[in-house]
């Protein structure tokens, strides 16, 4: 009489290969795509809201009297504020000008609209990351006089990572115009516009 070897039944959820496959496909799953789309919409709204509030002075971070339409200076107000600390303070004070106001506001508007629509995510991620890096360095979270709760990672870093994530994973294809945008001849010829 020979002994038969019985293979144990492994439930697919507990199989290591299945877990790896699930992790690899998380970005292509319906749930994963929806989570990325939600992250994209929320991140885009952060930038769009910053533009709207600074333009109109809705009273959240910008009082009505400091609204851009009332003569306020969005970037100059920040770059010359007590929030800017550290060794780069003179640099940021030197670049504060009406030109930086226009560039900052156009950047907030363009990034917010593009990210919410799911178009131009690569250039939006680069531009948004540069803005967030400058704001991070302006607030200098490393110093004793900084108001940061973490000396390395604050919301500027999280926003930049969110922008990079939605661009890298084509989050504009779900609940956005990403697929249509990518099919345009101009975008086909200039992949940096994706």
Tens-place pLDDT, residues 124-164: 999 999 999 999 999 988 876 667 788 889 999 999 999 99
Query: Contact, 178 vs 121, CB < 8 A?
Result: yes
Average pLDDT, the chain: 89
Give the CA radius of gyration of the chain.
23
> What length is written for the chain?
194
Domain-located, residue 10: no
Q: Is 15 a member of any domain?
A: no
Give the CB-side neighbour count of residue 128, counting CA atoms within 13 A.
Answer: 36
Q: Is residue 124 part of a domain?
A: yes
60-84 tens-digit pLDDT: 999 999 999 999 999 999 999 998 9
DSSP 153: -
Q: What is the pLDDT of residues 79-91, one digit of tens each?
A: 999 989 889 999 9
Give the span between the Cα atoms of 176 and 181, in whole angstroms: 9
* pLDDT classification of 114: cutoffs 50, 70, 90: very high
Q: Is the pLDDT of residue 20 over 90?
A: no
Reply yes or no on whether the pLDDT at 115 is more than 70.
yes
pLDDT score at 21: 43
d(CA 92, CA 186): 36
Domain count, the chain: 1
- DSSP letter (8 states) at residue 112: H
The residue segments making up the domain with residue 128 are 27-193
Residue with tokens 């939600």: 38
Interaxial angle between packed helices 98-117 and 155-168, expressed in degrees from 0 to 180 and rounded to the nearest 10: 50
Distance CA(25)–CA(34), nearest Å, equals 13
Which CA distances in Å does 48 have to 20, 45, 105, 114, 184?
37, 5, 10, 10, 25
Q: Which residue has the higher pLDDT, 19 or 32?
A: 32
Distance of CA 75 to the CA centre of its chain: 19
3-state secondary structure of 149: coil
Residue 16 lies in a domain: no
| Confidence category of residue 3, pLDDT binned at 50, 70, 90 | low
């Amino acid at each position: 009489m020979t002994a038969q070897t019985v293979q144990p039944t492994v439930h697919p959820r507990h199989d290591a290969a299945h877990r790896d496959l699930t992790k690899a496909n998380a970005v292509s799953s319906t749930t994963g795509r929806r989570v990325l789309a939600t992250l994209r919409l929320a991140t885009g709204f952060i930038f769009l809201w910053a533009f709207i509030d600074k333009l109109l002075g809705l009273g959240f971070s910008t009082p009505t009297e400091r609204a851009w339409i009332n003569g306020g200076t969005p970037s100059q107000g920040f770059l010359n504020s007590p929030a800017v600390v550290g060794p780069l303070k003179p640099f940021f004070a030197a670049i504060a000008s009406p030109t930086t106001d226009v560039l900052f506001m156009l950047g907030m508007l363009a990034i917010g609209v593009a990210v919410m629509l799911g178009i131009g995510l690569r250039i939006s991620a680069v531009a948004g990351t540069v803005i967030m890096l400058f704001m991070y360095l302006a607030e200098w979270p490393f110093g004793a006089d900084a108001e940061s709760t973490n000396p390395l990672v604050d919301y500027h870093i999280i926003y930049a990572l969110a922008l990079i994530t939605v661009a890298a994973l084509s989050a504009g294809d779900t609940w956005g115009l990403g697929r249509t945008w990518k099919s345009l001849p101009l975008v086909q010829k200039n992949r940096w516009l994706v």
